[in-house]
Structure 1
Amino acid sequence: MTAPGNVVIVGAGPAGLLLAGDLAAAGVPVTVLERRATGSSLTRAFAVHARTLEILDAREMAGELLATGQKVRRVRLFGAARVDLSRLPGRFPYLLVTPQYETERVLEGRALAAGAEIVRGAEVVGLRQDETGVEVEIRLADGTADHRRADYLVGCDGVRSRIREALGLPFPGRSAIRSVMLADVRLDDEPREVLTVGSSGDAFAFLAPFGDGWYRAIAWNRDHQVPDTEPVDLAELRATVRRALGTDHGMRDPRWTSRFHSDERQVPRYSAGRVFLAGDAAHVHSPAGGMGMNTGLQDAANLGWKLAAVLHGHTGPGLLDTYHAERHPVGRAVLRTSGGLVRAATLGPRPLRAARTAAAALATRVPPVARRAAETVSGIGVAYPPPRGAHPLTGRRAPDIPLMGEPSRLHEALRGGRFVLVVAANDPAVTYLATKRWADRVHCASADGATRTSALVRPDGHIAWATDETAPDRRATQIRDALTMWCGPPAAHVHH
């Protein structure tokens, strides 16, 4: 068998590390270039949403990450308005609060164990691509020059992406909120809720625990809009938190402070030739709702299996066009949701704030609205547009259904990185098609329970194809055609 081509990833943040692990696990040589010489002990993101936990579960990482954080089943927005995550479908009806560096640690461990190469202190200074590959020029930590060539390159290098700039792609958008204060602090008075959030119109504050006695404080003061270079004064931080929350919880001993502005931006195209963008390099959001990192991780989950399929020769490069088609609308929707939340949280006039709070409290008590809000924020509701005439399940997230035998549930079956064909029990013709002719690409499993639906689940957990056909011959033909379309031609030599 011919060895597959290789991939270079720029950026060892969450998206880059998940993508590296997926490619390495699929047998694709992958190198990650990271400008930082060491991993960061700082953190931006705290929220790991339900859909991301499902993605991690399908890679056998959810359990390790769950041990590092705290579960939140209801997230307060304004006043009595809350998003209830406890009714979400699936194994993770909550938000996991854990520092981003814990997420990166778990992802990096998997990537290295699978064989990915991570080169730190490697700064990209140039990029060229042609019809056969991509070449990047890099400057190493000791100042020496080097270069890497790959079949494909993925820029996961953040909001100031060198890869996006090298491609000449615009990054249109605007600043959602300016002069936001950040600090890692101790608190004398532990908050009652895991996540503490509040606003007064002129002030906004958010507190999240690291789990070791330190808290990340995020605060905004409408009356003091200064450049990002202005130092954060503890007295102003405490006063702003008191205005937003009614107390500063005895805030003291800051070990780190900073000031930043939050942008809302999205690149018009997630790819150019053989180069792709994922995570903050492609889209950046306000922190409201904690959806930014999660969206980037889901970008990586979408792209990884497609790159592997193309590089292994199972399908043509046209599959890679679906990355932009599927993920760009998701990024745009997250921009709208997070932007709406931050603007609602920072409304100034008191009458508008009162109306906002009342409307949000009322809406979140209406079951369909509450369910939709939870599915939107958590990512559980993300579905990709199906082709015309497709089964209604096509493009939707596949639930973690129980299966007969081992593996005993769908997410466990996805851990091999293959497609999973789920069929009714006792369907030997279909089982033969998948286990003999597509065994290297498809795991065939029988649903544990009465079902008439057969479904082909993609490695990222979305449904590629489904049918309710019950006639055995027609069903077998449909499944064979679906396997050929999604997984490539069957193996040439099959022993009967």
Structure 2
Amino acid sequence: MNGTTPRTVIVVGSGPTGLLLAGDLAAAGVPVTVVEKRPRKVSNLSRAFVLHARTLEQLDARGLADGLEAKGRALDKLRLFGGLTVDLTDLPSRFRHLLVLPQYEVEAALLRRATDAGVDFSYETEVTGLTQDADGVSLQVRVSGGEPETLRAAYVVGADGMRSAVRESVGLPFPGKSVIRSVVLADVKLTEEPENVLTANAVGDAFAFIAPFGDGYYRVIGWNRSRDVPESEPLGLDEIKEVARLALGRDYGMHDARWMSRFHSDERQAPAYRVGRVLLAGDAAHVHTPAGGQGMNTGLQDAANLGWKLAAVLNGRAPSGLLDTYEAERHPVGKAVLRSSGGIIRLAMANRPWTLAARAALTAFLGRVRPARTRMIGQITGVGYAYPRPRGAHRLVGTRVPDVTLKEGRLYEALRDGEFVLILPEGTDHDSDGRYVVTHWSSDRRTALLVRPDGYVAWASDSAADAGADLSRGFDPYGIGFGS
């Protein structure tokens, strides 16, 4: 990748966010290389265990959701804090549940897809710096401890985690703070099987979470507010058991730990997701507490938003200004996730009389007021987010489209080509000249919708005459405006 590379992309980081993005770019015909400082392997040391409905929809649009559903365990209720349990069975989605599945299974599926699409991988390659100019980015790397090299690409995307070398190289700060320190993790076997697929609770100063790997081992995450020690402090199984007993009432007979560690949980967000030809996604752009299981999901949805836009620019279908809408759309979502995940963890760990009273009041309010509960569920699962629409645009522009049934099949099957999908009333015809896929409602609905590759409305019309006039002008789907 040395020399002039006007259409190439380097994605730094081979976690779920980087893999989904790289696979999307390669599927769209964009030459892409993934640079990863770790050796080639899918690690089982991940902390993410939940796929939410919106992420499952994005994976469905890539033909991956059904295979992952077969490996994981569906859970239609999510317990949050103070006895509040969220019922997911009314979600406006094909996936009216969350999927309990270790992150490494998601990575393995995305890696296969990216490899099949032709992504190049450069493992044991560490980023040491970068420079950019009007034509591209020069990425300085060191491969397997060897001599420094320079890779050249039109764009670089940093999906390289909380300690992103890409973010640091462009001088972006990462403001925020550590929310929880000395969190303990372990992979253990249990003598007693938990009653629920996900087991979580907080009592006093202690919190614990247990989730199955599916291979006989369980991931345990615990925190004891009263034991704040450095991450270098040795960790034994007895400490894991004690946290579990404090938070859950028992330790389920934990034994045969194959891995144990400490970590800290931060809340941080970069002030910008784009600096010229360099973009950030996933944990390189934002990190959250693990409450609600939103971290990996938010990163995957970042990639789904960015991939088609970057491909459109590099394939000459759209001006580079389209990339500005990535930050305009995803930065507010990252900020909202910071608020919601932070709120959940603070309420779960409430231990003072006034915070306990506030938690009880909020729990009662959410239990009684359906619109508030629906909004909260929409934020946690991702289905409730909408993007800004241009002034004067149809009210549906920027909203997410669920997996509606079409005369030609399901919408998210139609989205698998990575193209815009135009949905027309039955009996209406239109020649798109190959610029988008044309489909029809299976019902008598009369609204016309142009759906973006990531499943959000780009254009809509309730009037057959207005829709016909717009379509007859042969409008460019990339030129009708996104964001505001």
Q: TM-score, normalised by structure 2?
A: 0.95
Provide structure 2 residue ranges, at least 5 long, that are not aligned to the other structure. Answer: none
Secondary structure in structure 2 of the residue aligned to 1:343: helix
What's the offset of the Cα at 1:366?
A: 3.1
**TM-superposed deviation, 1:329:** 0.2
The residue type equivalent to 1:256 in the other structure is W
Distance in 2, Cα, partners of 1:482 & 1:152: 30
Other-structure match for 2:424: 423
**Contact 1:32–1:118 under 8 Å retained in 2:** yes
Is 1:38 the counterpart of 2:76 in the alignment? Answer: no
TM-superposed deviation, 1:67: 1.7
Are the aligned partners of 1:179 and 1:260 in contact in 2 as well (CA < 8 Å)?
A: yes
Q: For 1:483, what is the secondary structure of its paired residue?
A: coil
Q: Which residue of 2 aligns with 1:456?
A: 450
Question: Aligned residue for 1:491?
Answer: none
In structure 2, what is the Cα distance between the partners aligned to 1:362 and 1:246? Answer: 28
Mapped partners of 2:472, 2:170: distance in 1: 40
* Distance in structure 2 (CA, Å) of the matches to 1:226 and 1:381: 38
Q: 1:466 aligns with which of 457, 460, 464?
A: 460
* Letter aligned with residue 100 of structure 1: Q
Q: Deviations over 1:286-321 (max 9, x none)?
A: 000000110000000100000111111111111010
Alpha-carbon distance in structure 2 between the residues aligned to 1:248 and 1:364: 31
CA displacement 1:357-413 (0-9 Å, x = unmatched): 4631552343222222211100001110111221111101012111113xx010000
Secondary structure of 1:400's aligned partner: coil
Instruction: Name the structure 1 match of 2:9.
Output: 7
Tell whether 2:137 aligns with 1:113.
no
Partner Cα distance (2:475, 2:57) in 1? 24
Contact preservation (8 Å) 1:23, 1:304 = yes
Task: Tell me how far apart the structure 2 counterparts of residues 101 and 260 of structure 1 sit (CA, whole Å).
Answer: 19
Name the CA distance, whole Å, in 1 between partners of 2:240 and 2:473. Answer: 62
CA contact (8 A) 1:155 1:275 kept: yes
Question: Are the aligned partners of 2:80 and 2:292 in contact in 1 as well (CA < 8 Å)?
Answer: no
Structure 1 counterpart of 2:182, from 179, 184, 192: 179
Give the superposition deviation at 1:142: 5.0
How do 1:88-487 residues align onto structure 2 when only pairs under 5 Å count?
A: 88-141=91-144, 143-349=146-352, 352-353=355-356, 356-357=359-360, 359-405=362-408, 408-428=409-429, 431-432=430-431, 434=432, 437=433, 439=434, 441-471=435-465, 474-480=466-472, 483-484=475-476, 486=478
Q: Which amino acid aligns with 1:484?
A: D
CA distance in structure 1 between the aligned counterparts of 2:60 and 2:394, rounded to whole angstroms: 26
Mapped to 1, the partners of 2:419 and 2:286 lie a distance apart of: 28
Q: 2:87 aligns with which of 84, 87, 92?
A: 84
Name whichever of 130-139 and 79-88 sits farther off. Answer: 79-88
> Hey, which bits of structure 1, 4+ residues long, moved more than 6 A?
none
Given that 1:402 and 1:410 are in contact with CA atoms closer than 8 Å, whether structure 2 keeps it comes out as: yes
CA RMSD of aligned residues (A): 1.6
Deviation of the 1:485 alpha carbon: 5.0
C-alpha distance after superposition, 1:334-375 (max 9, x if no partner): 000000111111112356436524631552343222222211
Amino acid at match of 1:451: R
Residue in structure 2 matched with residue 47 of structure 1 by the alignment: 50
Q: Report the residue type matching 1:423 in the other structure.
A: L
Query: Percent identity of the aligned residues?
Result: 55
Give the secondary structure class of the aligned counterpart of 1:67.
helix
Tell me the distance in 2 between the aligned counterparts of 1:202 and 1:236: 14
Equivalent residues of 2:458, 2:477 under 8 A apart: no
Q: Secondary structure at the match of 1:364?
A: helix
Tell me how far apart the structure 2 counterparts of residues 9 and 292 of structure 1 sit (CA, whole Å). Answer: 19
Quote the Cα distance in structure 1 between the aligned partners of 2:193 and 2:361: 28
What pairs with 1:49-68 in structure 2 (closer than 5 Å)?
49-68=52-71
